[in-house]
């Protein structure tokens, strides 16, 4: 079992790619480690960047990252039922976007029009207007199949600081 971000209902089909611009800067974050910040005011609905990394099958990820559930850290992002984007390799600054229980961004899956699952992409979009200098965040939606013990919740503790913080990045099992 390995942790990965999940996007259950955030699927779109688009023929257009994300508008990649110099909307962001990466620097140290008060939430955790590095963070991504708005370099200018970003209106709601702005496609900020694509989440990139090496494309892996779920079977490969399960084999290689099986023992990482207790790390409290992941750059794995579920792309679709076949693939995971592994942000540990060939990634960009999107991997530094931190979790928040009250996020200002939301990731979307852009499905390939021809149905080629290898060509699906993950795009991060603003949910509301974001001020220059504000840290970009989204809800990681981490679901683990194991029991969510107090110890595991502490390992996956949320540090977002929001009044809406639930204290953990883990989502309830279905």
Q: Cα(57)–Cα(43) distance, rounded to whole angstroms? A: 35
| Confidence check: pLDDT of 17 > 90 | no
For the chain, the structural domain boundaries read: 11-155
The dotted CATH code for 11-155 is 2.170.270.10
Q: Give residue 170's pLDDT.
A: 86
Model confidence pLDDT, tens digit, residues 64-81: 887 776 666 788 999 999
Q: Is the pLDDT of residue 154 over 60?
A: yes
| Bigger pLDDT: 145 vs 103 | 103
Q: Which residues contact 170 (CB under 8 A, 6 or more apart)?
A: 142, 143, 144, 148, 152, 153, 156
Q: pLDDT at residue 18 above 80?
A: no
CA distance readout (Å), 99 to 13, 66, 82, 118, 161: 25, 22, 24, 26, 11
The pLDDT value recorded for residue 141 is 85
């Amino acid at each position: 079992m390995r942790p990965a971000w999940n996007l259950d209902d955030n699927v779109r089909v688009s023929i257009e790619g994300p508008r990649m611009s110099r909307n962001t800067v990466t620097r140290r974050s008060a939430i955790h480690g590095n963070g991504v910040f708005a370099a200018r005011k970003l209106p709601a609905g702005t496609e900020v960047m694509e989440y990139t990394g090496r494309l892996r099958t779920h079977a490969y990820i399960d084999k290689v990252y099986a023992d990482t559930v207790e790390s409290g850290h992941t750059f794995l992002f579920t792309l679709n039922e076949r693939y995971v984007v592994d942000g540990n390799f060939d990634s960009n600054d999107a991997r530094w976007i931190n979790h928040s229980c009250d996020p200002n961004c939301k990731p979307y899956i852009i499905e390939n029009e021809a149905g080629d699952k290898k060509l699906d992409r993950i795009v991060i979009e603003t949910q509301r207007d974001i001020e220059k200098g504000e840290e970009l965040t989204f809800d990681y939606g981490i679901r683990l199949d194991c029991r969510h013990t107090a110890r595991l919740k502490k390992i996956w503790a949320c540090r977002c600081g929001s009044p809406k913080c639930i204290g953990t990045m883990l989502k309830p099992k279905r």
